[in-house]
Chains A and B, each alone.
Chain A
Amino acid sequence: MSPHPSEAPLERRSIISGIGQSDIGRRLGRSDLDLTVQAALAAIADAGLTRDDIDGLATYPGMGAGTPGFAGPSTPEVQDALRLQLNWHDGGGEGPAQIRAVIAACIAVGAGLAKHVLVYRTVSESTAQGEGGRAGIGGSGGGGRGVPRFSGFLQWSLPFGAVSAANWIALVGQRRVHEFGLTREQLGQIALNGRRNAALNPHAVYRDPLTMADYLAARMVSTPLCLFDCDAPCDGATAVIVSHADYAGDTPHPAAHVNAVGTALRGRPSWDQFDDMTSMAARDAAASMWERTELTPADVDVAQLYDGFSVLALVWLEALGFCGRGESGPFIEDGTTIARDGSLPLNTAGGQLSGGRLHGFGLLHEAVVQLRGEGGERQVPGHPEVAAVANGGGPIAGSMLLTRHR
């Protein structure tokens, strides 16, 4: 329950009133600002608003962060491009994973700082890597001299060739093999499930059928992760409008109500020092989310869980309590539980593995689509009432519970 039992959690004053996406694809060759404006205007119209109604703006991770194509445009660029008049604005990369920007918007709306916040996440990594070559975190190539040196947490991993998130998450994966007996066939179900759903999503980047034989034959990236365990860089922007719940009756599409957010980080905030090497921050974010709601894991009808790497979806299934610690492998083993007609439909637009690396916001977008009942061919049956969204992995995690009714 809420830490302050007399009051409902502040985030329940917020709804997601509108959603929008730009074109999504590989090497679109368009600027990140162009993609962002396309998604923003779609989301504003979807919410039944005009840009004059938008008084808040937020993004993750903000200006200049990360490798080329990663950050998307800064909030000043987007504000200027749309000539927004803002009462509140926020862009940053630290916090409860990518969804931190949405959570910040909920807090701003709840506090009365803004009524309608445009929140966006844009990536143009596919085009950027097409121009500049594929880069691991911290760049590629070079020797000891004449190459930038590293401070902060990166100094503890980059010297050892742990240059990509694939390496860091592979270490989590191998630890799960050791502690829980995780198999490649279990891991492969995340990739296969995503591909089956992507086949019904016209905007997904990979839609051709994928079999377990294809999966098992794929080349390794960093054991136990193969090519199909790693998501694909793409170009695309996702925007959502976070509005005050007072607006819920006036939205053209059914509003998605924010029920609870998960923001905790209680363990040490680094890959190699976190106490539990199999779960990390997802454990804490999920726990804090359930502390803020009367809903339980059994109430969740559809789950959109971060799968930038397949292992992370397993981590979230356990962290959110859909199965016990270490039990996610058997839980998904036959593929039926997480299928669209299963007890916990998972990543119904294809996730990031097949839908493309929209970096958390694609999962949020799909949760709203499913709660609205607008999933078309991929709509899960039975009018889902509660959706869980989770972003991030390792020492970075955030989550959100959305409901169809208040």
Chain B
Amino acid sequence: MTADGPPFRLLPRLDADNRFFWTSGADGRLRFLRCRACESFVHPPAPRCPQCLSEYLTPEAVSGRGVLESFTLNVQQWVPGADPYIVAWVSIDEQSDVRLTTNLVGVEPDDVRIGMAVKVTFEHDDDVYLPLFRPAGGGA
């Protein structure tokens, strides 16, 4: 069984702070706020850099590559008949303390290992592009 996403998705409410993040995948790129003063990536979006308190934050595209930090195969059927799916924590290669909760897709659950390299892929749902991740193997 190759894991896919959950049977339903509860979506984020877009606002002035998060819209860039949730629509970033329209061009296939993952973006985070980055502080122009201290160069930290900031997530979730914040009005000032939590490290240096600079106001100069702008979205910046990242490589989309990351590391699987933890995962769980959800088996409980929150809606009847749903297939299991993998919820994951992924850190981004650019800054290891920036993590996303996401789905790991396109993988056999038995092949999942913490520490494996992963790459972003987007699922378009209504006006949102959800960043999901798949194994980075094969140079894809």
Residues of A within 8 A of B (CB): 136, 138-145, 147-151, 153, 155-164, 166-167, 170-175, 178, 219-225, 271-273, 275, 277
Contact at B114–A161, with CB atoms within 8 Å?
Answer: no
CB-CB under 8 A from A220, the residues of chain B are: 73, 75-76
The DSSP consensus for interface residues of chain A is loop
Contact at A150–B10, with CB atoms within 8 Å?
Answer: yes
Contact at A272–B101, with CB atoms within 8 Å?
Answer: yes
CB-CB under 8 A from B75, the residues of chain A are: 219-223
Contact at B11–A161, with CB atoms within 8 Å?
Answer: no
Given the known inter-chain contacts A162-B87, A170-B72, please indicate yes or no for A155 contacting B18, CB distance below 8 A. Answer: yes
**Nearest A-chain residue to B102, judged by Cβ:** A160
Neighbour of B13 across the interface among A155, A161, A166, CB < 8 A: A155
B125 interface residue, CB < 8 Å from A? yes
Neighbour of A151 across the interface among B15, B88, B97, B103, CB < 8 A: B15
Contact at A164–B78, with CB atoms within 8 Å?
Answer: yes
Looking at B1-9, B28-36, B51-59, the stretch in contact with chain A turns out to be B1-9
Q: List 17 A-B pairs, Cβ < 8 Å.
A: A143-B9, A144-B11, A149-B14, A151-B12, A155-B18, A156-B100, A159-B10, A161-B7, A171-B87, A173-B72, A175-B114, A178-B115, A220-B76, A222-B87, A224-B72, A275-B97, A277-B69
Q: Interface readout for B22-59 with A: 1 if CB under 8 Å, 0 if not? A: 00000000000000000000011000000000000000
Complex CA gap A221/B114 in Å reads 20
Neighbour of A277 across the interface among B10, B79, B89, B103, CB < 8 A: B89
Contact at A159–B9, with CB atoms within 8 Å?
Answer: yes
Contact at B5–A161, with CB atoms within 8 Å?
Answer: yes
> Min CB distance, A127 to chain B, in Å?
20
Interface residues of B in 71-99 (CB under 8 A from A): 71-76, 78-79, 85, 87-89, 97, 99
Contact at B76–A157, with CB atoms within 8 Å?
Answer: no
Contact at B13–A151, with CB atoms within 8 Å?
Answer: yes
Given the known inter-chain contacts A138-B10, A149-B12, please indicate yes or no for A222 contacting B74, CB distance below 8 A. Answer: yes
CB-CB under 8 A from A221, the residues of chain B are: 74-76
> Min CB distance, B55 to chain A, in Å?
21
B70 interface residue, CB < 8 Å from A? yes
B128 interface residue, CB < 8 Å from A? yes
B117 interface residue, CB < 8 Å from A? no
Given the known inter-chain contacts A150-B13, A159-B10, please indicate yes or no for A222 contacting B70, CB distance below 8 A. Answer: no
Neighbour of B70 across the interface among A143, A148, A150, A174, CB < 8 A: A174
B111 interface residue, CB < 8 Å from A? no
Contact at B102–A277, with CB atoms within 8 Å?
Answer: no
Contact at A163–B10, with CB atoms within 8 Å?
Answer: yes
Contact at A160–B5, with CB atoms within 8 Å?
Answer: yes
Given the known inter-chain contacts A142-B8, A161-B5, A221-B75, please indicate yes or no for A156 contacting B70, CB distance below 8 A. Answer: no
Given the known inter-chain contacts A143-B9, A155-B13, A159-B9, please indicate yes or no for A223 contacting B73, CB distance below 8 A. Answer: yes
Contact at A161–B85, with CB atoms within 8 Å?
Answer: yes
Complex CA gap A339/B100 in Å reads 39
B130 interface residue, CB < 8 Å from A? yes
Complex CA gap A172/B73 in Å reads 13
CB-CB under 8 A from B8, the residues of chain A are: 141-143, 161
Contact at A222–B103, with CB atoms within 8 Å?
Answer: no
Complex CA gap A148/B13 in Å reads 8
CB-CB under 8 A from B12, the residues of chain A are: 149-151, 155, 159
Complex CA gap A171/B100 in Å reads 12
CB-CB under 8 A from B79, the residues of chain A are: 140-141
Given the known inter-chain contacts A221-B75, A272-B100, A277-B89, please indicate yes or no for A159 contacting B11, CB distance below 8 A. Answer: yes
- 7 closest A-B pairs by CB: A161-B6, A170-B72, A149-B13, A155-B12, A158-B10, A175-B70, A178-B114
**Nearest B-chain residue to A139, judged by Cβ:** B10
Complex CA gap A171/B75 in Å reads 14
